[in-house]
Amino acid sequence: MSLLGSLLGRSKGQTQTEPKAPATLPAPDQPVFAIGDVHGRLDLLEQILELIDHEIGSKTLKNPKLVFVGNLLDHGPDSARVLTRMRELTREFPHNVLCLMGNHEQMCLDFIDAPAARHARWFKDGAGATFASFGVAVPDEGLDGDAAPQMAAVLGQAMGEDMVTWLRDRPLMTSSGTLHVVHAAADPRRAMDDQAARVLTWGHPEFLSVTRGDGQWVAHGHTVFERPVLKDSRISVDTGAWQSGILSAAMILPNGQVEFVQATA
């Protein structure tokens, strides 16, 4: 089913003219929806898309941008279908739907590129569910360095070259006004245009404890919270969907208004 009918109907040839937020609030140039880590939960993904579409239509939002913070795959049962769905949406709405690179997408690509060296880390963190979703069986005895190259080749074939290329093309960050959306974190003592790729993808030890002093806001996933958080220049949207059954999104408007939308199992 094709969702986002309100987005399709409202995003073309229209401009946003809303008041800007005070300096203490995030002020994107357009309405932004930051969606947390999906982790293979297609049911919650489809539900959050419906809820966001309702918000776009009911609030007559113009030129909204949906940003998925990464970690589409692993843990949950439907990684293959989630990836396919998001690839389709980003191509159908290239200016309005974006998926970032998460650490789980990076682990998958690292495994495909260097399976003997990189298999252990990924398989400790949910890779088996992704293999299963693509119809690839993992040996009962597990995966060692000798078997990893063959398994990487099988997975790459099951995913298809187009999917692997799409994953490689995922950006690390997107920005709109004073709002920046990343997967994991940003170094609070560095400008947003001077962030290391590893920090954006894997995190930073001071991100959750040091408030930025430059008026910039960072929306992110990766770190699981019981409920979404709006605090100290951060907007946290990962509520552990694959375990909790709750997928969260933050709606951030140019006037500084922030609301949370949640899909629940």
pLDDT of residue 106: 98
pLDDT of residue 28: 98
pLDDT of residue 100: 98
Dihedral pair phi/psi, residue 136, rounded to 5°: -110, 120
pLDDT above 90: percentage of residues in the chain? 84
Q: Which two tokens stand for residue 89?
A: 């949406």
The beta-carbon contacts of 258-263 under 8 Å, at least 24 apart in sequence, are: 258/25, 258/26, 258/230, 259/55, 260/227, 260/228, 261/33, 261/48, 261/51, 261/52, 261/55, 262/48, 262/51, 262/228, 263/44, 263/45, 263/47, 263/48, 263/51
Q: Which domains does the chain have, with CATH numbers?
A: 5-100+171-264 (3.60.21.10), 103-169 (no CATH)
For 145-186, the pLDDT digits (tens) are: 688 999 999 999 999 999 999 999 999 999 999 999 999 999
pTM value is 0.92
For 29-51, the pLDDT digits (tens) are: 999 999 999 999 999 999 999 99
Would you state the torsion angle of the CA atoms of residues 57, 59, 63, 64, taken in this order, to the nearest 10 degrees? -90
